[in-house]
Amino acid sequence: MKIVVIQGPNLNMLGIREQQVYGAMKLEQIHAQMKDFATQNNVEIEFFQTNLEGEIVDKIQECYGDAQGIIINAAAYTHTSIAIRDAISAVSIPTIEVHISNIHRREDFRKVNMIAPVCTSSVVGFGPFGYHLAMMGMLQIMQEMQAAKAAQEARTQALQA
Ligand code: DQA
């Protein structure tokens, strides 16, 4: 099982940018914690950060046939990008979006969310801890998918017997 974590623009500046909004943790620290949790749970994990919209679209497309889960913080593109929304919809991979801040309590332009309607779920406003919550949620989704697949295989075998 593989999870790909996609981080959008300016998230490479975590720990420097607006600490009162985004906290003091650096992206590398957040990723180190996610990696530990993935290792403990025997899940492969890959991290990708870019400031470019098209590179996020490319990465989501690369996940097709390669990853079983996507955790994405599309950052500012959340509020504008139909291209990222369409890419998530196209690959049909369980996707959890994370926002460090509570985007619903901020400026009106952050209340527009192009991504959420095509995601499995959203984690919003928990600070950097939201990434850990997303990992827990993704593992749960993956376990349910594996159980459903095993049950389907058992039914098929029973029919063939
Ligand atoms: C963000 C919220 C966005 O509105 C903002 O543009 C970001 C970060 C968050 O994690 O809270 O860059 O996605």
Q: What is the 92 CA–ligand 1 centroid distance (Å)?
A: 24
79's tokens: 């509020």
62's tokens: 């690369």
- Distance, CA of 22 to CA of 45 (rounded, Å): 23
Structural domain spans, the chain? 2-160
pLDDT of residue 117 exceeding 90, the answer is: yes
pLDDT of residue 103: 97
Average pLDDT over residues 78-86: 98
5's tokens: 């974590």
Average pLDDT over residues 132-145: 96
- Distance, CA of 142 to CA of 146 (rounded, Å): 6
18's tokens: 């607006």
Burial class (CB in 10 A: 0-12, 13-18, 19+), 10: middle
What's the chain's average pLDDT? 96
Q: Which residue in 31, 99, 104, 131 is the catalytic one? A: 99
Closest CA to 73 of 146, 12, 16: 12
- Distance, CA of 48 to CA of 70 (rounded, Å): 11
pLDDT bracket for residue 121 (50, 70, 90): very high
pLDDT of residue 53: 98
Altogether, the residues listed in the chain come to a count of 161
Alpha-carbon dihedral 113, 28, 67, 71, rounded to 10 degrees: -20
**Whose alpha carbon is nearest atom 9 of ligand 1?**
99
Give, in words, the CATH class of 2-160.
alpha beta
pLDDT of residue 161 exceeding 90, the answer is: no
User: Could you tell me what percent of the chain has a pLDDT over 90?
Assistant: 98
Closest CA to 99 of 8, 36, 2, 4: 8
Per-residue pLDDT tens digits for 23-66:
999 999 999 999 999 999 999 999 999 999 999 999 999 999 99
> Of ligand 1's atoms, which has the minimum distance to the CA of residue 75?
13
Residue 131 a catalytic site member: no
pLDDT of residue 113: 98
Residue 71 bridge partners (DSSP): 5, 96
Q: What is the 1 CA–ligand 1 centroid distance (Å)?
A: 28
pLDDT bracket for residue 158 (50, 70, 90): very high
